[in-house]
Structure formats: C-alpha cells, structure tokens
Amino acid sequence: MMSLKPSPIAATNAGNLDGWRSSHHGALHIGHISLIEIAKRHAEKVAVSIFVNPTQFGPREDFKKYPRPIETDLTKCRDAGSIWFSALPKTRCIAKISAELQLDMPGLSAVLEGRIRPQHFRGVCQVVAKLFNILSPQAAVFGQKDYQQFIIIKSMVQSLDWPVEIIPLRPCAIPTAWR
C-alpha cells in the first residue's frame, strides 16, 4: 500500500475516463464506480473526470450519438463518496493538441484492436497525457477490461518516466441495471 500524499489519485479507465477516471466516456456503470472504490483505498483525494474523447472514435463510430447522462453520472460519483472533485472538461480544452505533437505507442497500438481502429490508442494516449499533466496524480486506476489499452497506458507512463503508479482493476460483471 502506498503512503498518502497530498496529490490526487486518478480513478480511470481511459478508453471509456477514462476519466482521472482520466478520460472516461460518460454513462458510468458499476465497473467505473469500482475504479473509484479502488482509488479511495489508495489515497485521500480522488478526482474523477468524465470526458467523451472524440479522438478515440473511428470514422464509422458516431461520436455525436454517444450517451452523455451527465447529471446521472455526477450523482453516481457523489454517491460513491470521497471524491475530491469531478471534472467535465470541454472537448476544445482537452482534445486540442497540436498536429505536430502525437503521443502513441506504435509497437503496442498497431496490433489487435489498433489494426481496426488505427487512431484510437493515439487519442487515448494524448488525452490521458494531457489529464495527467493537469492533475499530476500519484497514481491512476485503470480497468483491464480493455487490456491492450491498459498495457499501452502503463507503457506510456514508464516511457515518459512519469511518477504515476498505474493500478489495475480486473474486469467485473456489470448488472443490467447499471449499463
């Protein structure tokens, strides 16, 4: 168990946080709340960000139709308790990254899902990097439901020598009522 520090911990599952829940798409379910619960075990401050990342959507995926039940999501965050703050960043603030700067882990992101969605993991890396830069968390909790994404984020953090502990959360069954 790590020692408590004044910096926040990020509860995240980037591809869906996401979030601090670093770059999290909205529509929180029990799996996302589990990320918060794990984060609360490791730090006194937990930050949650809900952000639908346009850079993770491919050409045949409809970004505009992705559900965004913000009030419901914020209620779930409040009910989870011990949240330091919840953020709802604007796309123009978070996803605005210069075309000259591209974060990617091509050796990991060009295979499996990355072959089908070539821009997806670059979008994940760019937004998670920006959120980590804003928050400076001591740790971040990522779900392993998307194991490839988990490995890419962990590798990015190691490659950039960021002092962020990446804490894994195994996938859990999601009751229909939480979907």
Residues annotated catalytic, as ranges: 32
> Is the alpha carbon torsion for 170, 173, 178, 179 positive or negative?
positive
133: its two tokens: 């830069």
Single-letter amino acid code for the residue at 175: P
> Is the alpha carbon torsion for 43, 45, 40, 21 positive or negative?
negative
Sequence-ordered alpha helix ranges (H) in 15-90: 30-42, 70-80
Q: Which of 26, 20, 34, 86 shows the shortest CA–CA distance to 56?
A: 26
Measure CA of the first residue to CA of the last residue in the chain; give whole Å: 31
Helices 70-80 and 30-42 pack at an angle, to 10 degrees, of 40
CB 178 within 8 A of CB 27: no
In the 8-state DSSP scheme, what is residue 64? G
Q: How far apart are CA 87 and CA 171, in angstroms?
A: 24
